Chain A
Amino acid sequence: MGRFEFYGPGLPAVDAHDLKGKLVVVEGTDGVGRSTHIGLLKEWLESKGHAVLDTGMTRSALAGKGLKAAKEGHTLGGLTMSLFYATDFADRLENEMIPALRAGFVVLTDRYIYSLMARATVRGADAQWVKGVYEFSLKPDIVVYLRATVDELVTRVVQTAGFNYWESGMDLRLGDDLFDSFVEYQGRLLAEFDAMADEYGFHVMDTSASIQSVSEQIKSLLEPLLLPA
């Protein structure tokens, strides 16, 4: 079929033309409701008879544990953290997503390279360098970008899990406390996402509407993709 291609040179010994499934990415910053929407999509896709693999960041068999341990120590420098995430992502891409795509699954991933690129750039990495690093990855079939303003995010975070160290970018020393830092950090991430939206053809979803209505919009975006070839 040859629907899939890589952003750049790709992965050694992986032929993108062997891949049959669909790669669906849900992107967006922290607290925007990605996991809620992924849950709803998974249920819907499975009820329509599609096999679904859902996967997310820092869960790889190889680097997942090490990354968690390293973050607990708060000793990672910006470059090191960016590359650790890239390793973790590559492991999941090669060992989870690609085998599932080969088997014809719909792969539903909570974040993809765009979050990782945004975080790295915000931490001072050169944008062209970051882009080059992730050229081993597959171009997804669709990227659904759940967008919220910083004000909306603040409200949600306060009502749910509260501010955490990394989601507030505290390692960057952007503000005096978690709140100030969160606002500044998430603002910078949003700017990166907005800049990528055009370049990578994101489908931007305004998440100020109800969960139900956003979910319906996402489903109608996916429908054409799911038609038999």
Chain B
Amino acid sequence: MKVYGKHRFPGRLFTVEGIDGSGKSTQLALLEKWLESERYGTFFSEWNSSALVRDVTRRGKRKRMLTPMTFSLLHATDFADRTEQCIIPPLKAGALVLADRYVYTAFARDVARGVNPGWVRNLYRFAVKPTIAFYFRISVDDAMKRLVGGRDAIKYYEAGMDRQLSGDIEESFRLFQGAVIDEYDRMVDEFGLVVIDATGSIEEQQARMRAIVTKALTGARKGRIRRWVDLNSTAQASRP
């Protein structure tokens, strides 16, 4: 088993982090458009997307049966499946992998839920270290203003309602996401996260991202690669 920081692949891995409403997904989508227009092969991978684990996570969330520990382990399972199926193979093929949320999401949320910081860092030791990990920093108040749908858009676990910080979902969201931000801020030095001020204009943020990514593209392979989804289904069909 390779551990964090020990992987060596021809591809590149760019990740974005930040609380909901920080605009990170918008920025990553813009980055992807640009990389494709520059004729790089890109693969997009998002948090909580493994087909194998998704049903269990959904059910656990819907029935509110997750504890901080099972929440943490289930997301790590999902992430392991993505690492094995959707991150490592394209990196080996020389692609640029773009990940919306990465291990730092788990470190921030799980620790905010009372999970031991050292334990959860060990849990994710199999992760590939990103080439660049961006962190979109924003205050809870600013993030809340941007949530489409306002109060109704806030989800139970996202608001940390399971922690019973407050009976009011908006207040609970504020408290829980505030704790998540504290954890992100602690990780900036620990993992060398590249901080982007998420209160700047979308264009400014994107220009900054592109300037930073450009420096990491020296020697990266160009040329479209067959979509990994196709490669993956072929691989599965050939199994016993």
Closest chain B CB from A143 CB (angstroms): 22
Interface string of B61-101 (1 = CB under 8 A from A): 00001111110011011001101110000000000000000
- CB contacts (< 8 Å) of B113 on chain A: these are 12
Closest residue of chain B to A78, judged by CB?
B84
Of the listed stretches B39-47, B122-130, B176-184, chain A binds B122-130
Q: Which residue of A lies closest to B1 (CB)?
A: A126
Tell me if A63 and B116 are in contact (CB < 8 A).
no
Contact between chains at B66 and A62 (CB < 8 Å): yes
Q: B35 an interface residue at 8 Å Cβ cutoff?
A: no
Main secondary structure on A side of the interface with B: helix
Report B-chain residues with C-beta under 8 Å of the C-beta of A211. Answer: none
| B73 adjacent to A12 (CB under 8 Å) | no
Given contacts A12-B114, A133-B122, contact A66 B1 (CB under 8 A): no
Query: Shortest beta-carbon distance, B71 to chain A, in Å?
Result: 9
A75 touches B69 (CB 8 A): no
Please give me the residue from chain A that is nearest to B79 by CB atom: A83
Contact of A80 with B114 at beta-carbon distance under 8 Å, contacts A66-B53, A94-B67 already known: no
CB distance from B106 to the nearest CB of A (A): 12
Could you tell me the distance between the alpha carbons of A76 and B53 in the complex, rounded to whole angstroms?
Answer: 10
Question: Could you say which residues of chain A place their CB within 8 Å of the CB of B70?
Answer: 62-63, 87, 90-91, 94
Which residue of B60, B66, B118, B239 contacts A74 across the interface (Cβ within 8 Å)? B239
Complex: A13 Cα to B119 Cα, angstroms:
15
- Taking the nearest CB of chain A, how far is it from the CB of B83, in angstroms? 7
Q: Nearest Cβ in chain A — how far from B2, in angstroms?
A: 9
Q: Do the beta carbons of B119 and A8 come within 8 Å of each other?
A: yes
A132 on the B face (CB < 8 A): yes
Interface size on B (CB < 8 Å)? 37
Kindly list chain B residues whose C-beta atoms are within 8 Å of the C-beta of A135. 119
A74 touches B240 (CB 8 A): yes
Known contacts A66-B56, A75-B236, A80-B77; A132/B65 CB under 8 A: no
A129-B3 contact given A13-B68, A90-B69, CB 8 Å threshold: yes
Which residues of chain B come closer than 8 Å to A136, judged between CB atoms? 69, 119
B59 proximity list for chain A (CB < 8 A): 62, 66
Residue A9, interface by CB 8 Å: yes
Contact partner of B118 (CB less than 8 A), chosen from A9, A70, A79, is A9
A170: Cβ under 8 A from any B Cβ: yes
| Minimum C-beta distance from B235 to chain A (A) | 9
B73 & A83 in contact (Cβ 8 Å cutoff): yes
Report A-chain residues with C-beta under 8 Å of the C-beta of B126.
Answer: 79, 129
Query: Using a CB–CB distance below 8 Å, which chain A residues touch chain B?
Result: 8-13, 61-63, 65-66, 69-70, 73-80, 82-84, 86-87, 90-91, 94-95, 124-126, 129, 132-133, 135-136, 170
Beyond the given A77-B84, A91-B67, A133-B123, please list 20 additional residue pairs across the A-B interface where CB-CB is below 8 A.
A11-B68, A12-B67, A12-B68, A12-B113, A62-B65, A62-B66, A62-B74, A66-B55, A73-B236, A76-B81, A77-B80, A80-B84, A87-B56, A87-B70, A95-B67, A126-B3, A126-B125, A129-B3, A129-B122, A129-B125
